Amino acid sequence: MQPGLEGPSQAELEEWNTQLQEIGEQYQALMQELFEQRAPDAAADSIQADIRDAFQAAAESLMRNPQRLWETQARLVQDQFQLWQQGWRALAGESVEPLVTPAKGDRRFKDEAWHSDPYYQAIMQQYLLFAHAVDELVDDLDGLPEQQKRNLAFYSRQMVNAMAPTNFITTNPEVMRRTMETRGQNLVEGLERLRTDLANSADGLNVTMTDRSAFEVGKNIAVTPGHVVYENELIQLIQYAPSTETVFKTPLLVVPPWINKYYILDLREDNSFVKWLVDQGHTVFLISWRNPGPEQRDLTWADYLQMGPIDAMGAIEQATGEKSVNLLSYCIGGTLAASTLAYLTSTRRGRKVKSVTYMATLQDFRDPGELGVLLSEPVLEGIEAKMEQDGYLDGRSMAYTFNLLRENDLFWSFYVSNYLKGETPAAFDLLYWNTDGTNLPAGTHAWYLRHMYLENRLVEPDGIELDGVKIDLRKISTPSYFISTRDDHIAKWNSTYYGALLPKGPATFVLGGSGHIAGIVNPPHKDKYGYWTNDELPDDHEAWLAGAEYHEGSWWPHWQAWMTGNGYADPQKMVPARQPGDGELPLLEEAPGRYVKTTIPEVLGETATSSEG
């Protein structure tokens, strides 16, 4: 022992020993639960097989060109030697420039120790050099089909990011400090949280992202006043109370996605799109989808169309006397809205919709992005087999998949803070919504994944048949407004753009800043992100952007001007404000209604476990 340094006291040793025993017991219990709960299934097996095939193809490509592998290894060895030299110089007290630094926006290495402590700086640089080498190796592979190369890049990125030194106790300076300060209590609490999250997960691991006890649907989120005025097996229809003395004559029907819940559009008063729409003078009706379980296994896309928008339009006519509506749709709700319009057009009822808005909506699935990695034919067959067995796709599995598209921000950052640091997640309404998932009926979702994502049949004339009616998006004459977002990784704008080229009616395309959520839910008072407009619709999305004009702020007022300027919401035809219950429909319950409050564990008869109280 060095002079001047004192060893731990007997009491400290006993405290550490107690903590280590507790950690060991928690770990053993965790392994037992993993062994009991994680039975293999067809979906997981198909993904594992696809991963093996991708890496096998990469190995065969390298065998055909061993020079490339040798060059990559030689460069990595050279970099390691330089790093070793720099390490010695740093230990000698010399100031040296790092050989490699984290990419801008990489928040994993923000702690000062990664940049000031030679030990941690060396670990970080070794990892980054290795990560760069893997990226270059995958990029340079020859002879692989584009889809397989994309899959390989995704899988290798997942593996490399899982190996980051930030994800391990002894190579993360923040975790080491925390462990020493708490004498391991952070690890005890972290293991408890990990066991709780595993118990509340389906496939994979759904990490707790927020303090769920801080929110309650209908209490401090989804609070815009209104009533449920209609319901069937699949939907509750909410009519919101007006906030203006007069309203536009044509009602507005909002068709949200049923992957997650509608209240992303009604989180808080200051960012609620629903409240803003009401305040602009719209009579707003909104579909609240049921959270389905095994009993709804046979629901089809046609059922969603009939019991969703079409039934809702019939109910709105009863409530207001109006025979037509304006449609406002989001994500998969927009894909359904396009199907509905094509169906109505083919059955000569297209005039029931005066205008349609598509927010971050895929109609042309030519580039599904990284979601396409998990929707190849063999993987899809495994997912279909799993859904056929269960009758539904567990929404927690879907959430885990979406989180892996942004794994460092939406998975590993919470993994480190929750399980290694033992921290309690902060209260954040958006992340509460993100973890309040919905199941997906087998009959609907399997059909959607195959016909839309894999085969891209919605864009084909008569490529889709619903209730015996062949539909064609090119026949739609309803005026349409498309809003997509530039950084969207779920509905990529270089695919959503081509939906605007399909209908024969007038179409407007607008590109917002930011991503799938923030770029859409972008209230004007925040003055963020901006948007691009272009009156022309060239055949290529890049040509559209090259000729587009940038505007500051939110796209919401632009949309409202489009609605009023074209008379879809006609300022010259205002009527007295409509209160829920004024028409023929009775008030069933106050908004937000019971459908949106139903959780996955409740649907499946599980008991959710909570470590947050």
Rounded distance, CA 420 to CA 413, Å?
A: 10
Which tokens is 260 given? 């997650």
Taking residue 357's Cβ as centre, other Cβ atoms within 10 Å add up to 26
551 CB contacts (<8 Å, ≥6 apart)? 530, 531, 532, 533, 558
Burial class of 440 by CB neighbour count within 10 A (0 to 12, 13 to 18, 19+): buried
Rounded distance, CA 50 to CA 55, Å?
A: 9
272 CB contacts (<8 Å, ≥6 apart)? 224, 265, 266
Structure-token match 């499946």, residue found: 604
Structure-token match 């989120």, residue found: 221
CA-based nearest residue to 202, from 512, 438, 456, 479:
438
CA-based nearest residue to 78, from 133, 38, 33:
133
Rounded distance, CA 16 to CA 20, Å?
A: 6
Phi/psi at 293 (nearest 5 deg)? -130, -160
Rounded distance, CA 437 to CA 225, Å?
A: 23
381 and 446 Cβ atoms separated by less than 8 Å: no
Structure-token match 């759904």, residue found: 206
SS3 217: strand
Rounded distance, CA 463 to CA 450, Å?
A: 13
Rounded distance, CA 199 to CA 608, Å?
A: 8
Long-range CB pairs of 345-348, under 8 A, 24+ apart, other chains included = 345/471, 345/472, 345/475, 345/476, 345/477, 345/478, 346/469, 346/470, 346/471, 346/472, 346/475, 347/469
Annotation says 94 is catalytic: no
Q: State the catalytic residue, choosing from 331, 353, 374, 491.
A: 331
Peptide bond into 592 cis (omega under 30): yes
Which tokens is 105 given? 């926006």
230 and 569 Cβ atoms separated by less than 8 Å: no
Rounded distance, CA 234 to CA 239, Å?
A: 17
Beta partners for residue 221, in sequence order: 217
The residues assigned a catalytic role are 331
